[in-house]
Each structure stands twice: as structure tokens, then as C-alpha cells.
Amino acid sequence: MNTMTTLFGGLAAVFALYVMGGALRSLPPILRAVLAGLIPLLAYFALIIGRWPGLDVVAMHISVFLAAGLVLFAVTQFRRRSAGRLHWAPKLLIVFFLGLVVVNGSLLYLATKGLPGPLARWWLGSDGTAVYSGFSGVVTHGQAAAKAVSSELSQTQHESELGWQVEVVGLDGNDPQRVIQVRVKDRTGLPVDRLEAELRLQRPGAVEPALVLPLAALEAGTYGGVLRLPASGGRWLAELRLLHGGDVRYQLTQELVAP
């Protein structure tokens, strides 16, 4: 279940619960609004157990669900105080809130999945190849950035000196669950064993990985495991690390697109 489904589905649930709460005459309006926003929020928390979508996504659900309940409460109070047609102030409040939800939801979608394919090709142009428009992260300028570039160049030179032939199978595809196999050979074609292999999954621009998957040794020079992509979907960076004696000997990063 993706973020847009839970966000707008939860909004529909808030509205439905608020309307049903109106049948209970003894229920105060403010408590009715709080329960209408809180019940879908608790259901969302139960849904993401073991499938953490990120603090930004969770914070958006919290603010939208609770704000929706309070907007409904405010509209109800305005209707009770003024007879006849609804005043322009609550109408403006409703329009502002709906616009805020649409804008935030659109920005969240673009940050995780990028522009939809047809829109990306029309807006950015294409020569027939895929157009990637997801957020690729930022690099801070300064001494830390210079050290990072130097470390990357050093790592690349070290990998070139090793001469390892690394083949990764299973990362491509559209399935949320993928069987990964990594085959490692030295420059002479012999398998390289006694390595520690792991796959790190993180968002572009993120500092810490969202998931670290150890790859078990299947046979000489072959390591594997099952990668289960987070339910939040969107674009991810999968970083393969091969370690020996606690030191990283080989790194490979590939972009993944989760459904």
C-alpha cells in the first residue's frame, strides 16, 4: 500500500467517522473531531509496523488527519452560529486545507517516485530512453566534501588494483521481493570466498541506510539473500559492500525503483 492511498484513504475515513459521530448526540463536537482524526491515525500506525516509511511520511499523516478533524469541527461551529448559507470564512478554510493536502501529497510523490513517465518526457524531453526525475540528494561543499571525493577516488583505485569481477543478479525488476545473488571472481577467474557481503538500501540523499541485508555465502565465491523492499515505494539506492577482515574491499551502487 503506497503513501497516496493511505493519505487520501485516511482523509475519507476521517470524514466518514466525523459524520457517523454526529448520530451520537451526547458526544461533544471537539471530542468527535479528535476521535475522527485519531482512529484513522492509530490504524495507520498499526499498518506500518515493520514497514517504516520514513519520518517525513509519518509526520504528514499525523498533521493531515488531525488537521482534517479540526477543520470539520470549525465548519460545524460556524454552521451552528450562522443560519442559512455557510459563511465565506469556513469555505476559505476548507479550500486552503484541501489545497495544502494536494500540494504536500504531490511534493511527497515527486520526492519519492519522481515525475510520472509521460509528464517527465514532455517536461524534460527524452531521446527515447528513461527519464529519471527523483531527488538525487545534495553534496555539501567544503572540507568534508573534498575528503569524500578523495576517499571515493582512493576506493576506485583500490578496486582497480584488486581486479575482481563482480556479477550481481536480481536487483532489476519490479517485484517488491527480490532474490539477490552476487558472484565474485579474482582477475584469474577463480571464485573469491571468505568475504562478508551486505546490501544497504537507502533513499537518495539520506545519510543512514533504511535497511542492511547480510548476504550469506551460498558456495565458493557466491553470496545471496532475499531483499524485501519497503512498502513506501519510490526510488532507492542499493549499495553492495564486500568486506574482508572488517575492511571494505569493493563497493557498487545501483538505483532501484520500488512499485
Which string of DSSP letters, residue by residue, matches 74-124?
A: HHHHHHHHS-SSPPHHHHHHHHHHHHHHHHHHHHHHHHHH-S-HHHHHHHH
Is 130 within the bounds of a domain?
no
Per-residue model confidence (pLDDT) at position 27: 83
Outline where the chain has alpha helix (H): 3-21, 29-47, 55-81, 88-113, 117-124, 143-162
Per-residue model confidence (pLDDT) at position 180: 93
Statement to judge: residues 8 and 114 lie in one domain: yes
Is 140 within the bounds of a domain?
no
Nearest to 250 by CA among 220, 215, 218, 219: 215
Statement to judge: residues 71 and 171 lie in one domain: no
Per-residue model confidence (pLDDT) at position 181: 94
Statement to judge: residues 118 and 168 lie in one domain: no
Grid cell at residue 42:
492509530
Residue whose entry in the numeric block shows the C-alpha cell 513517465: 117
Rounded average pLDDT over 89-108: 76
* Residues ≥6 apart with Cβ < 8 Å to 163: 186, 187
Is 215 within the bounds of a domain?
yes
Per-residue model confidence (pLDDT) at position 1: 57
Statement to judge: residues 29 and 102 lie in one domain: yes
Statement to judge: residues 9 and 67 lie in one domain: yes
The average confidence (pLDDT) of the chain is 79
Per-residue model confidence (pLDDT) at position 146: 47
pLDDT value at 231 more than 80: no
Confirm if 182 and 218 have CB atoms less than 8 A apart: no
Per-residue model confidence (pLDDT) at position 85: 66
Statement to judge: residues 95 and 48 lie in one domain: yes
Cα separations in angstroms, 6 against 12, 54, 89, 131, 179: 10, 14, 29, 27, 28
Residues 171 and 184: their CA atoms lie apart, in Å, by: 16
pLDDT value at 253 more than 60: yes
Provide the pLDDT confidence category of residue 155 given band limits of 50, 70 and 90. Answer: low
Grid cell at residue 242:
564486500
Least confident of 45-59, 88-102, 186-200, 201-215: 88-102
Is 26 within the bounds of a domain?
yes
Phi/psi region, residue 9 (left: phi>0; alpha: psi -120 to 50; beta: rest), is alpha
Is 19 within the bounds of a domain?
yes
pLDDT tens profile 65-98: 888 888 888 878 777 776 656 667 767 777 887 7
Number of structural domains found in the chain:
2
Of the chain, the percentage scoring pLDDT greater than 90 comes to 20
Confirm if 200 and 211 have CB atoms less than 8 A apart: yes
Confirm if 111 and 233 have CB atoms less than 8 A apart: no
Residues 222 and 182: their CA atoms lie apart, in Å, by: 6
Statement to judge: residues 16 and 116 lie in one domain: yes
Rounded average pLDDT over 12-16: 90
Outline where 142-236 has alpha helix (H): 143-162
Per-residue model confidence (pLDDT) at position 257: 77
pLDDT value at 59 more than 80: yes
Per-residue model confidence (pLDDT) at position 133: 58
pLDDT value at 49 more than 60: yes
Is 209 within the bounds of a domain?
yes
Rounded average pLDDT over 213-236: 88
Q: List the CATH number of the domain containing 169.
A: 2.60.40.2550
> Which residue range(s) make up the domain with 90?
3-123
**Within 13 Å and on the Cβ side, how many CA atoms surround 205?**
9
Phi/psi region, residue 194 (left: phi>0; alpha: psi -120 to 50; beta: rest), is left
Grid cell at residue 101:
493536502
Statement to judge: residues 91 and 165 lie in one domain: no
Is 139 within the bounds of a domain?
no
Is 196 within the bounds of a domain?
yes
Statement to judge: residues 27 and 95 lie in one domain: yes
Threshold 0.75, pTM exceeds: no
Residues 136 and 202: their CA atoms lie apart, in Å, by: 12
Per-residue model confidence (pLDDT) at position 218: 93
Provide the pLDDT confidence category of residue 153 given band limits of 50, 70 and 90. Answer: very low
Per-residue model confidence (pLDDT) at position 141: 47
